[in-house]
Amino acid sequence: MTDTLNQPPKNPERHSTFVPKEKKSTKPFHATPMLDQLESGPWPSFVTGLKRLAHENNMMVDLLGQLEHSYKTRLGYWKGGTVSVFGYGGGIIPRFSEVASMFPESKEFHTLRVQPPAGNHYTTKMLRQLSNSWNKWGSGLIAFHGQTGNIMFIGSTSENVQHFFDEVNEYGFDLGGAGPCVRTAMSCVGAARCEQSCANEHRIHRTLVNNFIDDMHRPALPYKFKFKVSGCPNDCMNSIQRADFAVIGTWRDDMQVDQKGVKEYVASHGRKYTIDNVIARCPTKALSLNDDDTLEVDNRSCVRCMHCINVMTKALKPGKDRGITLLIGGKRTLKIGDTMGTVIVPFMKMDTDEDYEKLRDLASTVIDYWAENGLEHERCGEMIERIGLAKFLEAIGIEVDPNMISHPRTSSYVRMDDWDQEAQKWIDRHQPAVA
Amino acid sequence: MAQAQVAVEKKQMRTPIESGCPDGMQYMHPLMVKNFGNWKYHDRPRPGVLHHVAYSGDEIWTVRVGTQRQLGPYEINLLCDIVDQYGEGYVRFTIRSNLEVMVSKWDKVGPLIQAFNDAGYPVGGTGNSVTMISHTQGWLHCDIPGTDASGVVKSLMDDLYTEFIKEEMPNRVHITTSCCQINCGGQGDIAINIQHTKPPKINHDLVANVCERPSVVARCPVAAIRPAMVNGKPSLEVDEKKCICCGACYPPCPPMQINDPVHSKLAIWVGGKNSNARSKPMFQKLVAAGLPNNPPRWPEVGAVVKKILYTYKKDARDWERVGDWVERIGWPRFFELTGLPFTKFHIDNWRGSRNSLNASTHIRF
């Protein structure tokens, strides 16, 4: 493979640096000396992309002008407002320019948030179709994807928002969330292409989010609520830190070990490397390398962190008794500081339609309770912080479990009048197992 | 004419089809549909390429391509033309805006990579590389940004291009950028976030008409905002001694301008990790601040990011993420190796902060 980086493009018309000679937009370009400096360098330039669009339409001519103005003055100039499509209360991010007198063609520059297919799969045919629709009704500029997971169609007038939505809605696409509502969800590539997948991420994703479609399109919750689905504890969707409701695939039996594969790994990488990078990196010291270069696993101590499986992809795999772990309450700083999602359900199976119903019902219970009890602009995790996990669990009908904590309380400042009854609950729950 | 208008209005009143999230199966590569849930293992034959093998014996190769995230029709058609000619018409996007192209034959991988490179698109971002920086909207489209996002990312990816196309880091490196302290970019091994340093400047003429004042008062994390009459008009005032300059009041009340061309600075945070691999997920920690917001290429930010990145590359062991590395060597050594100053601002004082203090004699010398 030749290094094409430092050579002039073989075909300049088919290259990320291409700028058309013919200018179809009627408005003259603004001078953009600062943005121009972002056209050099090896990474594909978004500025060159914006300039190509500015050759096509006046909206992008002025958009570039406003962006240059932001670069010069180091300030943003977009304000929100109210724009929606018929029947929905959210899904559009309205943007009106504060400097429209200087850049009138991009005075309205709204974004439509559209839900991508679960797993972000597309055919080239569908990508082109979406692009054509957006080129017809909007600026042509699309972000794949925003941080919540939406396809963001950036740059529409207030009037064309409805036209574009009507067109893509007819061929199977729907708006995502914006405002205090259930938001667009995300799921990893998962079972479609990953051997580490422990669940059907796409089905879980669609089961959850499509059940709350009314709560997505008509914002009426205390604040945003996000679902994210990762197929294994590598959590490629960043769900523990970014989702109010994180679903993560896992397993509860022994992990699968192909001892022949282990031996091959040791033979090719060396014993020291295997010990330093696999055995010693196990967080719960659950691994040991035998004298014959096979692997011993203390599965009861394994916390399913995935490290050894990530390293020895051909030798190790998750177990066969698979399901999911649920964590609730992840969010970033505003307002009480960062919270990670914490375990609410250590394990549940996701095999039958009834399992999916159970998950959907649990999500409904959580959202209903939070909708009733959350303060304005309070994320679910913040509400749990305010009322305490035990109270939240009681409200949603889930029994306490030591998997939900890092360690028991260290503070004695608590009333425990009904200790005996609570202890009896645990004993009763565990009676069958003991018998 | 009147009838035509009625027809148009009727069309506008079209009831939405609330179809929600589309099924990905209909757009998936046939081998992925066929082997759904039945994959056996994977390896990486070269940087930028994944190879998955199914129990059925089927194999699929994925070529990962870096993009500028914001794509117009020219880019979409150019990329799709390449995929149609050298690939098989099926793609997906990763969470970090990389394009993945799936093919059923190894023979197709080389020409596909060549075609992307010939068109100016890098192939990489897999395994222990620096993958695409996750970023937000910035000045291009956000209503509250302190800085741009795409420009910062473009500048950094130009500098880190080689680290994207090669796999030479101790482990994967996820860099994020955020244009305000809400931190939409999320947690990263290295995160570049706006940090305001001055309280909001209030336009008292506008507050009463634009802002729902009780909501704004409630939004403040340190209760520094209170209702006040200013020049005979109902407005809000900020106790500037209490104010932590977080900017939380600005989105619900735009007349409380938090962004400042000089005093909105950039801060660098390290050690965020979303995965459960080895250690539990970790939040990123502040290591540098006070960097100027300096478009179009933010050289001061790039210098600190590269200093941290290459110190990590040199000093960390295989499989250690930035956060894992610092946990092993300790924070004193981190500041020593990177040459970054340690200040009183690095010591947390938010709720729960005592947990971040060293309550032991575990000290490295």
Structure confidence by residue, pLDDT tens digits, B190-227: 999 999 999 999 999 999 999 999 999 999 999 999 99
Does B209 share its domain with B180?
Answer: no
pLDDT tens-digit map of B132-189: 999 999 999 999 999 999 999 999 999 999 999 999 999 999 999 999 999 999 999 9
CB B25 within 8 A of CB A203: no
Is residue B74 one of the residues assigned to a domain? yes
* pLDDT above 90 as % of chain A: 95
Q: Which of B16, B19, B119 sits opposite A85 (nearest CB)?
A: B16
Interface test with A, best of B19, B21, B175 (most A CBs within 10 A): B21
Measured CA to CA, the distance from residue A200 to residue A202 in angstroms comes to 6
Residues in chain A with CB shorter than 8 Å from the CB of B143 are 76, 78-80, 95
Q: Is residue B113 part of a domain?
A: yes
Give yes or no for residue B3 having a pLDDT over 70: no
Check whether residue B54 and residue B186 sit in a common domain.
Answer: no
B contact test, residue of A238, A274, A322 with most B CBs within 10 A: A238
pLDDT at res. A274: 98
For residue B365, what are its two tokens?
A: 């010398």
Compute the count of residue pairs across chains A and B with CB atoms less than 8 Å apart.
382
Full DSSP string of A136-199? HHS-SEEEE--TTS-EEEEEE-HHHHHHHHHHHHHTT--B---SSSBPPPEE-SGGGT-TT--S
Residue B132 falls inside a structural domain: no
Taking an 8 Å cut-off on Cβ atoms, the answer to whether A34 and B295 are in contact is yes
Task: Tell me if A79 and B66 make a contact (CB, 8 A cut-off).
Answer: no
Query: Considering the domain boundaries, does residue B356 fall inside one?
Result: no
Angle, alpha carbons A243-A245-A248 (nearest 5°): 90
Structural domain includes residue B360: no
Among B43, B258, B73, B89, residue whose Cα is nearest residue A264? B43
Is residue B178, in this structure, part of any structural domain at all?
A: yes
Please state, in angstroms and rounded to a whole number, the distance separating the CA atoms of residues A113 and A115.
Answer: 7
* pLDDT of A211 over the 70 cut: yes
pLDDT at residue B7, as a whole number: 54
Sort strands A227-230 and A245-251 into parallel, antiparallel or unpaired. Answer: parallel
**What is residue A431's predicted lDDT score, i.e. its pLDDT?**
83
Asked if residue A145 has a cis previous peptide bond (ω within 30° of 0), the answer is: yes
Residues of B in contact with A35 (CB under 8 A): 151, 296
Supply φ then ψ for residue A207, to 5 degrees: -60, -45
Locate B211 and state its tokens.
Answer: 């802002």
Spell out which residues of chain B touch residue A376, defining contact as CB-CB under 8 Å.
Answer: 215, 218
The answer to whether residue A14 scores a pLDDT higher than 70 is yes
Q: How many CB atoms lie within 10 A of CB A372?
A: 9
Note whether B278 and B181 are same-domain residues.
Answer: yes
B318 in the same domain as B278: yes
**Is A2 a residue whose pLDDT tops 80?**
no
pLDDT at B129 over 60: yes
- CATH number of the domain enclosing B340: 3.30.413.10
Shortest alpha-carbon distance between residue B259 and chain A (Å): 7
Token look-up 């394990």 returns A347
Task: Quick: pLDDT tens for A333-369.
Answer: 888 888 999 999 999 999 999 999 999 999 999 999 9
Predicted confidence (pLDDT) at residue B2 exceeds the cutoff of 50: no
Domain count, chain B: 3
Query: Does residue B161 sit in the same domain as residue B287?
Result: yes
B171 and B55 in a common domain = no
Identify the closest residue of chain B to A132 by CA–CA distance: B73
Per-residue confidence (pLDDT) for residue A336, from 0 to 100:
87
Measure in Å the smallest separation between the Cα of B242 and chain A Cα atoms.
15
| B282 and B154 in a common domain | yes
pLDDT reported for residue A335: 86
Q: Considering B256, B281, B302, which residue would you say is the last residue of a domain?
A: B256
- Are B246 and B298 found together in one domain? no
Alpha carbon distance A16, A35 (integer Å): 16
**Cβ(A247)–Cβ(A326) under 8 Å?**
yes
Beta bridge partners of A221: none
| Cβ-Cβ contacts under 8 Å, A329 against chain B | none
pLDDT digits (tens, 9 = 90+) for A94-125: 999 999 999 999 999 999 999 999 999 999 99
Average pLDDT value for chain B: 95
3-state secondary structure of A111: strand
Buried b (16+ CB within 10 A) or exposed e, A288-302: ebeeeeebebeeeeb
Q: Reduced to 3 states, what is the DSSP secondary structure of residue A323?
A: strand
In a domain, B123, yes or no: no
Q: What is the pLDDT of residues B228-284, one digit of tens each?
A: 999 999 999 999 999 999 999 999 999 999 999 999 999 999 999 999 999 999 999
pLDDT at A434 over 80: no
Contacts of A15 in chain B (CB under 8 A): 118-120
- Quote the CA–CA distance of B184 and B191 in Å, as a whole number: 11
Alpha-carbon distance of B272 to B324, in angstroms, equals 10
> Residue B357 falls within a domain, yes or no?
no
On the question of pLDDT at A51 being above 90, the answer is yes
**Structure-token pair, residue B86:** 């050298």
Q: What is the mean pLDDT of chain A?
A: 96
Per-window interface: B 218-257 vs A, CB < 8 A: 218-219, 221, 246, 248, 254
Which one of B33, B141, B198 would you mutate to disrupt binding with A, by most A Cβ within 10 Å of its Cβ?
B141
Helix (H) or strand (E) holding A112: strand A110-114
CATH number where B45 lies:
3.30.70.3340
> Is B50 found in the same domain as B31?
yes
Domains detected in chain A: 12-73 (no CATH), 79-170 (3.30.70.2500), 186-251+323-406 (3.30.413.10), 256-317 (3.30.70.20)
Q: Is the pLDDT of residue A141 over 80?
A: yes
Q: Which of B241, B256, B271 is the last residue of a domain?
A: B256
| SS (HEC) of chain B | CHHHHHHHHHHHCCCCCCCCCCCHHHHCCHHHHHCCCCEEEEEEEECCEEEEEECCCCEEEEEEECCCCEECHHHHHHHHHHHHHHCCCEEEECCCCCEEEEECCHHHHHHHHHHHHHCCCCECCCCCCECCCECCCHHHCCCCCCCCCHHHHHHHHHHCHHHHHCCCCCCCECEEEECCCCCCCCCCCEEEEEEECCCCEECHHHHHHHCCHHHHHHHCCCCCEEEEEECCEEEEEECCCCCCCCCCCCCCCCCEECCCCCCEEEEEEECCECCCCCCCCECCEEEEEEECCCCCCCHHHHHHHHHHHHHHHHHCCCCCCHHHHHHHHCHHHHHHHHCCCCCHHHCCCCCCHHHHCCCCCCCCC
Residues B82 and B38 occupy one common structural domain: yes
Per CB-CB distance under 8 Å, the chain A contacts of B90 are 121-124
Residue A331: closest CA among chain B residues belongs to which residue?
B186
| Closest to A226 (Cα-Cα) out of A321, A88, A59, A339 | A339
Among A222, A147, A87, CA closest to B14: A87
Complete DSSP assignment for A53-93: HHTT-HHHHHHHHHHHHHHHHT---EE------TT-S-SEE
Is any Cβ of chain A less than 8 angstroms from the Cβ of B9?
no
- Say which of A35, A38, A147 has its CB closest to residue B185: A147
Whether residues B246 and A38 touch (CB distance < 8 A) is answered with no
Please tell me the distance in Å from B363's CA to the nearest CA on chain A. Answer: 22
User: Over 80: is that where the pLDDT of B89 sits?
Assistant: yes
Interchain contact, B28 vs A119, CB within 8 Å: yes
Residues B271, B327 within the same domain? yes
Q: Two tokens at B189?
A: 């091994």
* C-alpha–C-alpha distance, residues B190 and B177, integer Å: 9
Residue B148 belongs to domain spanning: 138-197+261-346
Q: Which of B11, B89, B297 sits opposite A123 (nearest CB)?
A: B89
Contact state of B27 with A117 under an 8 Å Cβ cutoff: yes
The reply to whether B165 and B112 lie within a common domain is no
Closest-CA distance of chain B to residue A102, Å = 16
Q: Tell whether the model's pLDDT for residue B1 goes beyond 50.
A: no
Structure tokens at B193: 């976030």
B62 touches chain A (CB under 8 A): yes
